[in-house]
Amino acid sequence: MANQEEKNLIEILEDNVPIDMAKYIKFVQSPHCGATATFAGTTRDTFEGKTVIELRYEAYVPMAIRCLKSICSAARLAWKIDSAAVAHRLGPVPVGDASVFVAVSAVHREDALDACKYVIDEIKASVPIWKKEVYEGGEIWKENSEFLERRKGGCCGVKVKVGDCGAAAAAATAEGCDRARIGE
């Protein structure tokens, strides 16, 4: 049997390299899995009444890859998944194109669906990939709502607990991607 590392495909794609969704779906498919769950995050054409031209992504790639591996490891601890694949683009992503793609396979759909949702939510909350929205007439760096939820109370003067999130935090810490939880 292959080890867990071999059952993950994690890629950060350079500028102007589109996501080949079929590649990631094919990677996770297996004859013994009855479910493959996917999520594709695409650039939409408007946001809060503004016309969006494109999104632009930057990342601290070595840490982003470590965090993505950690997220997949934590998903394995929580759900019975077979394989996971994650791809995220960097650089400009035009309207209609995918910037992030997640595929997860499992014997049963509940595990695949729940793990897929967990993976994308954790990517948006904790992976060092930054998004700039480019509009007609302007641009702005955006924080994901999942990240902001984790930061409630501000970044300064609050008590931060590291490694207090059970098995998921232990997996994250083991992979070198400490995720902090804001305390009281």
Check pLDDT > 90 for residue 64. Answer: yes
Q: What is the pLDDT of residues 103-153, one digit of tens each?
A: 999 999 999 999 999 999 999 999 999 999 999 989 999 877 766 676 554
CA distance 104 to 116: 6
152 in a known ligand binding site:
no
Q: Of 18-27, 93-102, 142-151, give the lowest mean pLDDT range.
A: 142-151
124 is in an annotated binding site: yes
149-165 average pLDDT score: 42
| 16-25, 76-85, 103-112, 161-170: segment of lowest average pLDDT | 161-170
Q: Is residue 25 scored above 60 in pLDDT? A: yes
Query: Which homologous superfamily does the CATH classification assign to the domain defined by 4-144?
Result: Molybdopterin biosynthesis MoaE subunit (3.90.1170.40)
14 annotated among ligand-binding-site residues = no
| Arithmetic mean of pLDDT over the chain | 83
The residues, any chain, with a CB within 8 Å of residue 11's CB and separated by 6 or more, are: 86, 87, 88
Provide the percentage of residues in the chain whose pLDDT is more than 70: 76
Q: Rank 53-62, 139-148, 169-178 by mean pLDDT and report only the highest.
A: 53-62
11 is in an annotated binding site: no
Task: Render the burial of 6-42: b for 16+ CB within 10 Å, e for the rest.
Answer: ebbbbbbbeeeeebeeeebeebbeeeebebbbbbbbe
149 marked as part of a ligand binding site:
no
Amino acid identity of residue 149, one-letter, is: E
Q: Is 109 annotated as a binding residue?
A: yes
Nearest 5°: the CA angle 149, 151, 153 is 105
The domains of the chain are located at 4-144
